[in-house]
């Protein structure tokens, strides 16, 4: 069965909720629209044929040059903007090797943020609800 008239479907994405050994959260500053200049979790689109875990590993590497192992699903975000509709699956992930990060791909910055300083950042659409979620708060120890 072919659905040729269904061009406007939401995009599926993944994002990593990654803490270093000090309990700081990895965040990236978006380098392009949508939400250019705002802070978000590293992540992006799932490509055709990719598993969610493969997509998460690839996106974290592309945006922050960090190798991770995906863990459990923490949060599902639905982001609807005038010209964009995303469903983003936010996974906890652990660091493999060094926790050194370097922005690349579509991230203009990548850094570790103390969870006590989260309110000082200009977060992308949907992040406020993410930080209010009970499971996320427990994971981040907020």
- By the 8 A CB rule, do 135 and 75 touch? yes
Within 1-133, residue ranges assigned H as helices are: 52-64, 127-132
* Number of separate domains in the chain: 1
Is 1 a domain residue? Answer: no
Q: What is the mean pLDDT of residues 125-138?
A: 96
Q: Averaged over 62-88, what is the pLDDT?
A: 93
Q: What radius of gyration, in Å, describes the C-alpha atoms of the chain?
A: 15
CA distance linking residue 24 with residue 77, whole number of Å = 21
Q: What is the mean pLDDT of residues 81-98?
A: 93
Q: Is residue 6 part of a domain?
A: no
Q: 107: domain CATH number?
A: 3.90.79.10
> What pLDDT sits at residue 76?
98
Report the C-alpha gap between 142 and 134 in whole angstroms: 9
Q: What is the pLDDT of residue 5?
A: 53
> In this structure, is residue 16 part of a structural domain?
yes
Do residues 20 and 93 lie in contact, with contact meaning Cβ atoms separated by under 8 Å? Answer: no
pTM, rounded to two decimals: 0.91
Average pLDDT, the chain: 93
Q: Would residue 96 count as lying in a domain?
A: yes
Share of the chain above pLDDT 70, in %: 95
Report the length, in residues, of the chain: 142
What is the span of the domain harbouring residue 24? 11-140
Asked, for residue 23, whether it belongs to a domain, the answer is yes
pLDDT for the residue numbered 3: 43
């Amino acid at each position: 069965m072919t659905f040729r008239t269904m061009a406007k479907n939401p995009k599926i994405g993944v994002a990593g909720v990654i803490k270093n050994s000090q309990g700081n959260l990895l965040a990236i500053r978006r380098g392009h629209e949508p939400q250019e200049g705002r802070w978000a979790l590293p992540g992006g689109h799932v490509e055709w044929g990719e598993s969610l875990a493969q997509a998460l590993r690839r996106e974290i590497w592309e945006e922050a040059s960090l190798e991770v192992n995906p863990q459990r699903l923490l949060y599902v975000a639905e982001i609807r903007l005038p010209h964009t509709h995303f469903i983003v699956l936010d996974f906890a992930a652990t660091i493999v090797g060094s926790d050194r990060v370097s922005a690349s791909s579509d991230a203009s910055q990548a850094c570790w943020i103390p969870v006590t300083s989260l309110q000082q950042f200009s977060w992308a659409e949907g992040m406020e609800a993410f930080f209010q979620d009970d499971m996320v708060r427990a994971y981040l120890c907020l």
